[in-house]
Amino acid sequence: MNAHTKSAQVVLNAAYDEAATPHLSVLVPFYRESPSTLLKALKPVAGVEIILLDDGSQQPDLTQDVLSTIDDLALPVKFITLPANEGRARGRNRLTSAARGNYFLCLDSDMLPDHPDFLERWITVTQDNPAVVFGGFSLLQAPQDKAFAVHRLMAGKSDCLDAATRSLQPEKYVFTSNLLIRRDVFKAQDFDASFTGWGWEDVEWAMRVANDFGVRHIDNTATHMGLDRAEILARKYEQSVGNFARVIKKHPEVVAQYPSYKIARLIRRLPMRGALRATVKSIGLNDNMPLKLRALALRVYRAALYAEVV
């Protein structure tokens, strides 16, 4: 069934029952990359629906791929296509508006569950009525290509942490890649739509939510399949500077505890910051350099970028 609005096209698959009220809504935004592999990996569970959002890809072949995939799914799916890109924060807010569940499970389109009972585990978690729960990252199924080796090394060290470690700084390790949110919590605190480009909108949201509702961490991981080449990582860091500045302005005391902020403050005092940025970026993108050195250089490059706004 199709329905048209002024701003979006909506498609419901055959399994979607408008009379049913699901308990859990899985929210999957995507932009110019297909979520089909993820969708096929999600085993049908009673009380679960999927809400997809194509955030302005404008790629007919991609749309057709998704339509073909959801036609075969036993899970109910609502597929929303936007005519223009709205960005990560605004897009996720739109997803929650289309969802019917009492809980939202935010999943990035390049994630892949590490356990066949992934959704069942999340349903079980909701029985305690938690406010916000992050399930964790892994690289268990991620590509081993040499081109992604730097990102793999960096993600393994900073992102793929167990629940006990993440719980030491609960708001810092909250990402919308595998995140459970109770409906009333999101109604009280949605994502700040002033965040554009890449990065920090989910962490900033967690800073607000942690004070009022708390953030819980568990080990129900999904693999981040979308590892990036070093040059794409560098580009994302460049895009994230404005968002980092917004976080500093809104939560100065929290951000001041982060290593990236502390290093950025040190770099800020250097007389030749521009030369440092160029040098560490060059090292980070150089395939002939040792892997650990490249990873370190990219971390310093990110801090050097942030030095301009601290």
pLDDT tens digits, residue range 20-75?
899 999 999 999 999 999 999 999 999 999 999 998 888 999 999 999 999 999 99
pTM of the model: 0.89
Strands 9-12 and 111-113: unpaired
Determine the pLDDT at residue 19: 78
Residue 1 has pLDDT above 80, yes or no: no
Average pLDDT, the chain: 91
Please name the amino acid found at residue 273.
R
Element (DSSP H or E) covering residue 4: strand 2-4
Domain ranges of the chain: 2-228, 229-310
Residue 99 · residue 111 · CB < 8 Å: no
pLDDT tens digits, residue range 209-227?
988 999 999 999 999 998 8
CATH H-level superfamily of 2-228: Spore Coat Polysaccharide Biosynthesis Protein SpsA; Chain A (3.90.550.10)
Determine the pLDDT at residue 3: 42
Determine the pLDDT at residue 5: 44
Strands 103-107 and 24-30: parallel
Distance from C-alpha of 108 to C-alpha of 86, rounded to nearest angstrom: 16
